[in-house]
A = this chain, B = another copy of it.
């Protein structure tokens, strides 16, 4: 591994993905070129083709990778861990780990938005629909996993009486929509004066209120 000048790079595929994510974050998907990556890594212009059939395959792989880390963070948040990405968030979580469903749902939402604003271009990739059919299936599967994490929390909320009855998956879709949409607004600079955290809190309050059982 880490062969610097050797003929075989050793782990070109991983290196490509790593560099690609950096470029994606820095310059967006438009600015991502296979030849550019090859240059950055000091390999020939055709080397990437050994690992990614075409440019779209690389983008698909990035999206898959993005969903995987997103899901990991969501799982962590759903389990009650208040940590989003970095340890420093300054929010004092009085409730213990795995506290009330509402609080954990809120934590989930915050984790999602954290990820979204930290990886805007990647999130774009993840939800944009021009993926190859084969990887599209994988992406859908990973997306469903995200939703399932939320749905399980919904079920638990239903058991504890915090959430109205109904198909947990459908309720999860609603919750997911709210949070994802908010992230989109934030990234599009449409929140303006409203600090994202404030918008987030209001959204969560409205969402949780709407999810509560009626009367």
Give chain A's interface residues, CB within 8 Å of chain B: 28, 30, 120, 124, 127-130, 136, 140, 143-144, 147, 166-167, 169-171, 173-174, 176-182, 184-185, 187-192, 194, 198-199, 202-203, 205-212, 214-215
Contact = CB atoms under 8 A, between A and B. Distances in A.
The 4 lowest CB-CB distance pairs between A and B, nearest first, are A210-B210, A181-B181, A177-B181, A206-B210
Contacts of A209: 209-210, 212, 214-215
Contacts of A127: 184, 187-188
Contacts of A147: 190
Q: How many copies does the complex hold?
A: 2
Nearest to A192: B144
Contact of A177 (B203, B205, B210): B203
Contact of A180 (B166, B169, B184, B203): B184
A45 to B, nearest CB: 21
A206 B204 CA distance: 12
B187 A170 contact: no
Contact of A129 (B144, B177, B181, B188): B188
Contacts of A212: 209
Contacts of A188: 127, 129, 140, 143
A209 to B, nearest CB: 4
Contact of A30 (B130, B167, B198, B210): B130
Nearest to A28: B130
A40 B128 CA distance: 26
Contacts of A191: 173
A184 B185 contact: no
A171 B201 CA distance: 11
7 contacts: A28-B130, A129-B188, A140-B190, A173-B190, A174-B203, A177-B179, A209-B209
A57 to B, nearest CB: 14
Nearest to A31: B130
